[in-house]
């Protein structure tokens, strides 16, 4: 399989399937298409009709959108716990991932992902604070229900952690105050080797995307 992604410093959508595949040791090669260049759209349209990242190629098959890619991986690797193994936990994980996938627009707008930056306190509008409170609530609830099974949202690492990984990077960049449970979860994710690998690559990138640098 080949996963087409955008800049690691900025592309939150790309991080999700990349992190899942790396953390669960699913074999793939990556192709990085720098975003916001004159030829970015045309290059991405060669990979998928959406013209966006991420895109997964599996032979002649093309799957785009991070949620669709993760669901495809779950089907292709039924022996790997892409989603939690328990039925109720799996339904819960899909619910919070769908909420993440379609919501939290204020957080996305005012706290863009930027692994290289440090902007403590920036972007905390009332709408963003409401998004943060809801995410804190989700994480606390998941950890309360599944904390005995492991350190991640549903015990074992799963798609849920991959979906919230870009939020973890945002909370680090903007030094967001969280509950004790959520702070511990952020540290758990920061110690994940796959996320550390992503960060290392992001810090080595030199390209600057002005749209993702509102507080520079």
CATH topology of domain 87-198: Glutathione S-transferase Yfyf (Class Pi); Chain A, domain 2 (1.20.1050)
Parts of the chain with a pLDDT under 50: none
DSSP state string for 65-95: SHHHHHHHHHHH-TTS-SS-SSHHHHHHHHH
The matching CATH number, chosen from 3.60.15.10, 3.40.30.10, 3.30.1330.100, 3.40.190.10, for 2-80 is 3.40.30.10
Closest Cα partner for 53 from 27, 23, 73, 30? 30
For the chain, the structural domain boundaries read: 2-80, 87-198
State both tokens at 182: 């959520």
pLDDT score, position 192: 98
For the entire predicted model, the pTM comes to 0.97
pLDDT score, position 4: 98
Assess contact for 26 and 73: CB atoms under 8 A: yes
Assess contact for 162 and 19: CB atoms under 8 A: yes
pLDDT score, position 60: 97
Kindly report the length of the chain.
Answer: 216
pLDDT score, position 155: 97
DSSP state string for 182-213: HHHHHHHHHT-HHHHHHHHHHHH-----GGG-
């Amino acid at each position: 399989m080949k996963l087409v992604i955008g800049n690691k410093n900025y592309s939150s959508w790309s991080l999700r399937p990349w992190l899942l595949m790396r953390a669960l040791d699913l074999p793939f090669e990556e192709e990085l298409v720098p975003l916001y260049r004159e030829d970015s759209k045309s290059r991405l349209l060669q990979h998928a009709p959406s013209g966006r990242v991420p895109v997964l190629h599996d032979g002649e098959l093309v799957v785009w959108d991070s949620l669709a890619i993760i669901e495809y991986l779950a089907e292709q690797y039924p022996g790997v716990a892409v989603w939690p193994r328990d039925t109720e936990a799996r339904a819960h994980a899909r619910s919070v991932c769908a909420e993440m996938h379609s919501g939290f627009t204020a957080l996305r707008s005012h706290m863009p992902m930027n692994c290289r930056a440090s902007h403590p306190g920036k972007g905390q509008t009332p709408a963003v604070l409401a998004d943060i409170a809801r995410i804190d609530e989700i994480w606390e609830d998941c950890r309360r229900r599944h904390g005995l099974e492991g350190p991640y949202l549903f015990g074992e690492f799963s798609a849920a952690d991959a979906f919230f990984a870009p939020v973890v990077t945002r909370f680090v960049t903007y030094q967001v105050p969280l509950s004790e449970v959520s702070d511990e979860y952020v540290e758990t994710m920061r110690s994940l080797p796959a996320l550390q690998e992503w960060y290392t690559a992001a810090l080595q990138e030199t390209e600057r995307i002005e749209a993702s640098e509102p507080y520079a």
